[in-house]
Amino acid sequence: MKQSKKILVALVDRANYGRLRPLMREFKKNSFYKLQILCTGSMLLEKYGNSYKIVQKNGFKIDSKVFMELEGSNIVTMSTSFGLGIINYTNELNRLKPDFVLVIGDRYEALAIAIATSFANIPLIHLQGGETSGSIDESIRHAITKFADLHFPATDRAKRFIIKMGEFKNSVFNYGCPSSDEILKTKKSKLDFVNKIGIGATIDFKKKYILIILHSNTKEYKEQSQQIQNFLSFVKNNKIQTIWLWPNIDAGADTISKELRIFREKYNPNWIRFIKNLSPEEFQGVLSNASCAIGNSSSFVRDSAFYGVPVLLIGNRQSGRETAKNVTHLSFNKKKIEKKLLIEINKKYRPEYIYGKGGVSKKIAKKIKNFKFLKQKSLSYF
């Protein structure tokens, strides 16, 4: 019987947790693993809903909290926060002494963890590498791939891309996204909780509603203000009841938040409910029942495919993503969004499973347990 190992899972935002929770549950019940959890980034901030409390509510013990985010949500604070993250993660890795560290996706907080982990000679496991998208996220994701020792992409194309980046074929395994383990078991649930949190309109769930998430695109930082104003002019003229989730912490987020507050004060939009944060199951309930989702969140690419919910993907933040037939790509053009919404809000697509078919977490946990990590990785183009 193999000796148990400490595996540190890093959670940097609400989306991270939703995708990693099934895998964390698998680690927790598997005697080979001693699960350690590090929460950082926006998960620890009140303005983003203190997501770490959801982790605790779900029965997980948080072993480390790393505060690294500077106020401002601009290019300077984003870069400086990244530097602070490396310093603080280094100290926590030295204290916790994990045998493995696991990160997911393309966040700058995750890249800071990846760097600190690799410098500490701790094996790094990366989920959802090999995907393409807009903004700085794509560069971050590929950088993490080059630091990682073991890769679990979510699609066949992503697996091929990682191997083309020079990673050993026998270190890259596509089982799908762990979130599919829970999403495929999602049942229709009451959504009354929505009207008990956030502020604004009371949503009537017997009628159609749209879900909006609009994050900043760091590569279009200077255009943020005009883009959100264009988008809000569409919202002002289309008074369909709406649930709007607050943007994440990326550079430009404060610009979006400012424009939203101005819009709220000026027009008192009594058809919109604004919410800071939702738990994974609450979010899946809201998304799966929406008549249409509009914005640029990666969850609109990944999670919506399982439900066949129509999605209007706005701007370049998710450019290059693999999408199902339910997703329509649009610019920040008011008339085009209005025209397409009238069509899509009356549609329902067949579910597609490009991001997994369930049973993912067990496969990942088993592979980590039996994988032989190399002391030094190298390029492989053979």
Q: Give the 3-state secondary structure of residue 264.
A: helix
Percent of the chain with pLDDT over 90: 86
Average pLDDT over residues 61-86: 93
Over residues 315-343, the pLDDT tens digits come to 999 989 999 999 999 999 999 999 999 99
| pLDDT of 240 above 80 | yes
Q: How far is CA 75 from CA 83, 84, 191, 243, in A?
A: 13, 14, 37, 28
Confidence band for 75, pLDDT divided at 50, 70 and 90 = confident
Using the structure block, give the residue that is written with the tokens 């919109």: 272
- State the pLDDT at residue 27: 98
Q: Which residues pair with 297 in a beta bridge?
A: none
What's the pLDDT at 134? 79
Do the first three CATH levels of 5-183+357-370 and 192-344 match, i.e. the same topology?
A: yes
68 pLDDT more than 70: yes
Question: How many C-beta atoms surround the C-beta of residue 97 within 10 A?
Answer: 12
Would you call 124 helix, strand, or coil by DSSP?
strand
Share the mean pLDDT of the chain: 94
Just give the CATH number of 5-183+357-370. 3.40.50.2000
Q: Which comes out higher in pLDDT, residue 374 or 54?
A: 54
| DSSP string over 19-87 | HHHHHHHHHHH-TTEEEEEEEEGGGG-GGGT-THHHHHHTTPPP-EEE--PPTT-SHHHHHHHHHHHHH
pLDDT of residue 2: 72
Whether the predicted pLDDT of 1 surpasses 60:
no
User: Does 375 have pLDDT greater than 90?
Assistant: no
Class of the CATH domain delimited by 192-344: alpha beta
Residue 3 is predicted with a pLDDT of 85
Give dist(CA 80, CA 61) in Å, integer. Answer: 29
Look at residue 7 and tell me whether its pLDDT is greater than 60: yes
Apex 114 CA angle, 382 and 179, nearest 5 = 85
Using pLDDT thresholds of 50, 70 and 90, give the confidence band for residue 71.
confident
pLDDT in tens, 154-207: 999 999 999 999 999 999 999 999 999 999 987 777 899 999 999 999 999 999
Longest Cα–Cα distance in the chain: 65
CA 150 – CA 163 distance, rounded (Å): 12
- Residue 222 binned pLDDT confidence (cut-offs 50, 70, 90): confident
Give pLDDT tens digits for 105-138.
999 999 999 999 999 999 999 999 999 987 889 9
Is the pLDDT score of 382 beyond 70?
no
Starting at the earlier edge strand, list the strands of the sheet with 292-295.
199-200, 272-275, 242-245, 210-213, 292-295, 311-314, 327-330
Distance CA 106, CA 116 (A): 16
Q: Which residues contact 117 (CB under 8 A, 6 or more apart)?
A: 89, 93, 101, 103, 124, 147
DSSP code for 13: S
Domain ranges of the chain: 5-183+357-370, 192-344
Q: For residue range 248-277, what is the model confidence (pLDDT) as tens digits?
A: 988 888 899 999 999 999 999 999 999 999
Give tens-digit pLDDT for 344-360.
999 999 999 999 999 99
